[in-house]
Structure 1
Amino acid sequence: MSWTQLHPNDESMMKKGYGGMLSLEFEGTDYLFIVGGVGTTPAVNHPQFQYSRIKDGRVSTNEQLLYNLSNGQFTVPSVSGQCCPPNSEFTINKVNQNKGIMFGGLVINDDGLPTVTNNVYIFNVTHNIIHWESIKKGSISGERLWTKERYDHASAIINGDSTSPALVVIGGRDNNNQVVTKCLLFDNITTGHFSCKKIPLPEFVTGRYFHSLTAVTMSPHCVWLVIVGGYKKLEWIDVGVGEDTNRLIMIIELVYIEAGEWIVQSVLDGNDLTSKKYQEKSLQRNPPPPPSTDPTTPSSSSNVVHESTSVSSTGGASPSATVDVNKVKKVIEDVLVSHYAALNSLPKKSLTGLVNQLYTAKLISNEVREAPSMEECIDEFKSSLSFKRKLPKVEEHCQKFLNSFIAVRGSYADAAEALGEDWIEALQNELGLDFNISIDD
C-alpha cells in the first residue's frame, strides 16, 4: 500500500474536520466527494453553500468538493434539490457509482449550538451537479424505530443477490450524549419504497461510538458486518482494556432468507476470530450448490437452519418434514409486533413484577431491569430469539417469556394467553407446525 498526499489547488479552501468523504464515478472518471464538517472561518464563502457560526467560534458547513483522481484537481460543484444543512459527525455511504446516502449528525440551531439529528438524505452526482433529496419521515414504513437522533455512529451498505442495497446503522450518541444501542436497517433505499427495521443485537455489540464499520459480502445471501473499536460510555474499547479486549473486533453474520429480509445468523468476537469456529464460518461461505432433485438429499446450504421434527397425531407437519427455524422465528416476531399496542397498554404498576420475572428467567439484562419498559423487555426477547438455532430452544424461550407474564397474573396473564394462542395458530396456519408451548396458568 502506498500513500500520496493531495494538495488543494486552491489555498482558499476551508480547513475542516468531522465531515464525510466517499468515492464516486460519473462520466467515466473517478472522484472523491467531500461534504460538510466543522472548521475555521473560510477565506471564501461559496454562495451555493451555508456556513453556520458555532458559539465556540468555529464554523459548520455543508460545503461540497469534488476531487478528480485523474488530474488531481479540486472543483466546487453546483447543488440542486433539498440540500442538507451544515452538518458534521454524520455518516455517508456509497449506494452505487454516482449515488450516496447521508444519515444523522450534528446540525447548528438558531442559538449557535450543535443539535443531534436523524435526517436522511439521498444524493447523486451528474455533470458536476450534486442533486439532493431529503427523505421525509412519512415516506418510510416502520419509522417508529427511527425516532432516535444520533451522531458519532457508524453505517455501511449491504448488498445481496437480487436485493436492493440496504443501509445498516450501528451505535452513536443521542442529544443527551447517551449511547444509542438500537441497530437499524434501512431497506429499499434505491427503489423509493423505504422501510426501517431493528436488527436485534446485544448491547455489547452496538453500545459504542466513534467506531468503524464495514460490510464484507461472503456469498450472494450472506454479509459480514465488521465492527472495530470505538468508545463505550467513557472508556475506549481497545487493546489493553482487560475484559473489553475481545470485543475490539466484532463480526455480525447477516443472512438473507426466503421471507425477503436480513436476519442475524451469528455474532463473533475476538476469541472467535482465532478459533476453528471462525475458520469454519469462513470456509462455509461459498455460494451454495444448486438444490438437489433427490428428496432424500439434505440441503448443504449454511445460510438457513433446518431441523427435523416430529409432531403429534392432531395434525401439522409430517414426521419426516423439516422446519426452517428462521421462518419460525419470523412468524413469532410478526405475531409479537401485532401485540405491541396491547402489551404496552398493560398496567404500569405491574411492570416491575414482570421485569423481576423476566430477569429471574435470564431473559433481560440488568440494565433493562434497572430502567424497565415494555419496549425494552420485548426488544431483549427478540434479540435473544435471533440466536436460537434449534426449534426446542425457540419453544423454551417463548415459554419462559409467557410464563413471566402468567406469574404476574391479572391482565398480564391474559395477555400471555392471547399471545401464546396467536403464536400456536399462526405457526400452524403458515408452516403447518405444532408449536410446543403451554398457555395454562
Structure 2
Amino acid sequence: MSLTAFSSTTWGPIEKSILSALCHDWADKGRILDDLKPSDFFLTETQKLYSYIASEIEAGRPTDPATLSATMTDGVTRNLIIEISGTLPSTPTQIDRHIEKLKELSRVRTITRALEDAKVKLEQGEPSLEIASGLENAMKEVETDSPSACITIAECADKALEGVKAAIERGCLYAGIPSGIHKLDQICGGWQAGQLIGIAARTGEGKTALALQLALHAARFRWNKDTKDWDGKGHPVVLVELEMSAREIGHRAMSHLGGPPMWKMRDGSSMNDFDKANLHEARGRLDDIPFFVDDPPRLRLSELRARARRWRKKIGMELLIVDLLGKVSSDTKEKDRWREVALVSHGLKALAKELGIPVMAVCQLNRDSVGDGEAGLHHLRESGDIEQDLDVAILLTKREDESRKLKIAKNRNGFLGSLDLAFDGDHQSFKEIQREAK
C-alpha cells in the first residue's frame, strides 16, 4: 500500500468532523487536543488548521468559523473553513470513534511511510542494518503513540512495596546491581533500573578504567538470596566502546583480573613464565561471564536504541555502559553542539526507562576544570542538559599522589558523598582506601 492509496473518502469526513467540533461550541475540546497531534491529520492544510485552532483555544481566543476566516491566513484556504463550518457537529460518542479512527490511520501511514522509505534505501544499496534501525524506530513510534494507561497513587505504592519485599527476601544491603566498591554501594544502593548514571573525569584520569571495572564486577557477581552471598552468574552487561578497540578492552580486562601489567602485554617480549601463567588465568576468569563489547567506529542515537532493544531481548541485558557520551551523534544535525549532546542525554535517559535497566554514560570534563579547584557538574563538556538528565553523577578527580577522589555529586534518590580510591595504573584498577566517607 502506498500513501496515495489512502482515499480522501476515508479520512476526509473524519477530519472535517473533528475540526468542526473545535470550531463550534463543543463541550469537550480538551479531549481532542489531548489525544491528537497535527501530524495525525493527512493533508498539510488540515494539519496547519488544527495546529492553529489548538493554539487559539489554549490562548483562550475564539475559534468560530467567522473568526478563523478573518485571522487564519497561513496555508489554509477559505474554502476549507467554509466546508468545516457546514459540517454538522458530531455527538461525543461519534467524536471518540473519529479520534480513534484518525489515530489508527495515522499509525498505518507511519508504517507505510517507513516501509516505502526502506524499499527505496534497499534499492539504493544503503546498509541493511541502518535500514532495519529505521524500521525499528518507526515501529517504536507507533507503539508509543498508543494510549497509555495512568495508574492510581495506591498502585504506585504497590509497585514500591514489591521492590521493598524483594529486597527483604533477597537479604542484601543493596537493591541494585553492585559496583564492587563498598562505600559507593552504601551511598547509591547499587545501580537501579531506569537510572542514567554519569561517570565524568578529565582526560587520562581513569573514567574508562572505572567504567570497565564496574562492568566486570556487575558481570561476574550476582547476589544469591538462598546462600546470602555473591555467587552464581552475574548480570548481563554490554559496553558500547567508542574510544578504544575491542583488543584494548581485552588487554585492560585481563590485566585488571590479575594478568600482567598493561605495558608487558603490549610488549610481549618482556613477559616471563610467571606473567604468562597469570595471563592464562586472567583469560580463564573471563570465560562464561555475560559481558559483551560493541566497538563501532561511530554511532547514532537511533542505532544505539535499536541495538539496545535487541540486546535486551536476546541476551537479557541488565546494564548498558556507553563510552563516550560525546561520541554518540544525534539523529538530527543541530547547529549548536550542546544541543546535540542534550538530545543524546535525553535519549539515553528515555532508553533507561523504556528498557527498565540502568544506563551508564562516560562523560568528559571541560578543559577549564583543569587546575587545583575541584571539578563540578558545571564542568561537563558541552553539557547541554546532561546534569538534569542524570540520576547519579560521579566525578573522578586525580590527586597529586596519584590517588583519586570519587565524588557522588548528584544522587536523585539518595545521599551525596565522596570516597578515596587508590589507582593501579599498570593494571587499570581502583581499590577503595579505608577512610571515613566525607
Q: Name the TM tier (shorter chain).
A: under 0.3
TM-score using structure 2 length: 0.25
TM-score using structure 1 length: 0.25
Greater helix share, 1 or 2?
2
Greater strand share, 1 or 2?
1
